[in-house]
């Protein structure tokens, strides 16, 4: 079960100034809300303050709209932008995938068991291979083939599905297509990608075989928000594992798949739990 099932989340950021922690914690105390987790960070280089509070109302008469309006009046004095997330919120999500099934399978398991509070509304692929997996989970599967000549048309279909399902989050679970600048702009801050961390040293086909030939000692994965720079968006989570001369290419591939699954799931969890703040081209992440 998700940790968000019984607590509210208040996530906020503002310019650095005296009283930023107090305005949040004092308000929660006045509202008879018990803080179960509190994280804050002051970026002294950027002059920006970030805070995240999980809390449980002690009064049964707690009203979300009233709380939001009253805190907005306090936050305005600090130029504070904030978001309030209710317990049990399940985020509408569309997953993009190609042929590799490991990340999709892992996300669907965590979705099915309640580890990730997702509301998966569609799975989109440029290949038909994984439709049985989606069907087994009772999820809509859209096979949208793509070629250089049909790329813009296919992306328009993807955009339509995202809009029609009112998805808040898009997860690229090893979707092996480069998104257009227009698509990246549309999905800024709400699309998460995963890739192996052997870049930029081992590009193109069979990166793990290239890494084996060079005798790498670490393999890993990076999950990030997409942007128009291929595989260089703001990083949310990374994973790494040591390897040695006993690991053959197929061993590196297997280990890489495991790390990709764990790292993507961690990044999605952080996003859903409002642990990720984006500012000035980089992220602040309060890990759990």
Q: Which residues are catalytic?
A: 231
Nearest-10 crossing angle of helices 207-214, 249-272: 120
Q: Which two tokens stand for residue 208?
A: 């793990």
- Report which of 107, 147, 112, 108 is spatially closest to residue 127, judged by C-alpha positions: 147
Query: Residue 10 corresponds to which tokens in the numbers above?
Result: 């208040």
Supply the DSSP string of 243-286, one letter for each residue: --TT--HHHHHHHHHHHHHHHHHHHHHHHHTT-EEEETTEEEE-
- In three-state secondary structure terms, 171 is strand
Name the nearest CA neighbour of 223 among 131, 106, 128. 106
Q: Mapping DSSP to helix (H, G, I), strand (E, B) and coil, where does residue 91 land?
A: strand
Query: φ, ψ for residue 63 (rounded to 5)?
Result: -125, 120
């Amino acid at each position: 079960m998700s940790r968000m099932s019984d607590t509210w989340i208040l996530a906020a950021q503002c310019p650095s100034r005296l009283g930023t922690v107090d305005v949040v914690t004092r308000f929660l105390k006045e509202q008879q809300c018990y803080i179960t987790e509190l994280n804050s960070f002051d970026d002294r280089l950027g002059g920006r303050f970030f805070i995240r509070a999980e809390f449980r109302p002690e009064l049964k008469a707690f009203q979300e709209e009233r709380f939001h309006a009253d805190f907005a009046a306090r936050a305005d004095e600090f130029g504070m932008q904030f978001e309030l997330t209710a317990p049990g919120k399940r985020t509408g999500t569309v997953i993009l995938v190609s042929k590799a099934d490991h990340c999709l399978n892992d996300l669907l398991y965590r979705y099915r068991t309640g580890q990730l509070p997702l509301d998966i509304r569609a799975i989109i692929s440029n290949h038909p291979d994984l439709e049985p997996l989606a069907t087994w989970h009772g999820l809509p599967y859209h096979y949208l083939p793509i070629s250089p000549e049909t790329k813009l048309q296919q992306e328009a279909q993807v955009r339509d599905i995202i809009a029609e399902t009112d998805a808040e989050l898009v997860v690229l679970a090893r979707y092996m297509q480069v998104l257009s600048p227009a698509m990246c702009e549309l999905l800024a801050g709400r699309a998460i990608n995963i890739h192996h961390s052997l870049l930029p040293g081992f590009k193109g086909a069979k990166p793990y075989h290239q890494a084996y030939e060079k005798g790498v000692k670490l393999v890993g994965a990076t999950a990030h928000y997409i942007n128009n720079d291929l595989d260089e968006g703001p990083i949310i989570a990374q994973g790494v594992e040591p390897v040695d001369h006993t690991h053959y290419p197929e061993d590196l591939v297997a280990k890489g798949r495991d790390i990709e699954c764990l790292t993507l799931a961690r990044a999605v969890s952080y996003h859903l739990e409002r642990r990720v703040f984006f500012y000035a081209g980089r992220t602040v992440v309060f890990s759990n």
